[in-house]
Amino acid sequence: MPESLNIVDLITQASLLVQIVMALLLLASLLSWVIIFRMSARLGTAKNFDQQFETWFWSGEDLAKLYQGIQGSPDRQGLEQIFYVGFSEYLRMHKKRQPKDDIIDGVERKLRVGLGRQQQLLESGLTTLASIGSVAPYIGLFGTVWGIMNAFLGLSQTEQATLASVAPGIAEALIATAMGLFAAIPAVLAYNHFTAKSSRIYDSRALFCDEMTGMLQRETSVQAPIIKETQVNAGQVTGL
């Protein structure tokens, strides 16, 4: 019986192209895991921050005071930033004494823009995970095909074809396919998980935007402004 095949020896003795394929798949696997850990932390933090802000928002505190409380924060994110953008547009248009419908339309546009930008930040890395999950198996398959082709070409040059002579070449080729699956499976599972989680966060934020629009629509029906014009200068409202 021949000695058992050593995976490390098979990799080091593989052809240059197969080794390049394996190296690419290893890098893709490492990259996907880095993205997985980062997205897991980012989505968890975003959900917690949104829950904290919603608790603050629905505590009954005046919207103007809420706005002033987050105005000086340089690290606004999630619902906090969406609220800030929408309410700033409300104040800007209210100061210009725009019609009620124009004010609400302007606020809705700003809320949609803020929601879209926050979602882009939240989903950063999903495209890379999708690419790794879809491409890695084919890269591994390419390395396998190339390795098997070389194995059979070498076999054709021997006088006596035996399983022992062709097994190492086929084994080293199949390692490429295994590495492709090793890189692709976690990436696909993570992509599906994070897509569903980010969609739930998006739906929650979109619902908040609708509720905030309704609140501001009721406020515009009141003659007295939400916040005195002397409390918010033009430089704090514009430039968003």
Q: Which one, of 104, 97, 34, 94, lies nearest residue 64 by Cα?
A: 94
Measure the CA–CA gap between 102 and 53, rounded to whole angstroms. 27
pLDDT score of 135? 94
Which positions ≥6 away from 76 have C-beta within 8 Å? Answer: 70, 84
In tens, the pLDDT along 177-194 reads 888 999 999 999 999 999
pLDDT score of 164? 60
pLDDT over 90 percentage in the chain: 38
pLDDT score of 161? 58
pLDDT score of 25? 92
In tens, the pLDDT along 112-162 reads 999 999 999 999 999 999 999 999 999 999 888 888 887 777 666 666 656
pLDDT score of 1? 38
Q: Residue 53 region, left (φ>0) first, then alpha (ψ -120 to 50), else beta? A: alpha
Measure the CA–CA gap between 89 and 137, rounded to whole angstroms. 48
In tens, the pLDDT along 33-88 reads 999 999 999 999 999 999 988 888 888 778 888 888 888 777 888 899 999 999 88
Output the CA torsion 81→84→88→91 (10° steps).
160
Query: What is the CB neighbour count within 10 angstroms for residue 190?
Result: 23
Residue 230 pLDDT grade (very low, low, confident, very high; cuts 50, 70, 90): very low
Determine the residue type at 2.
P
Measure the CA–CA gap between 171 and 234, rounded to whole angstroms. 71
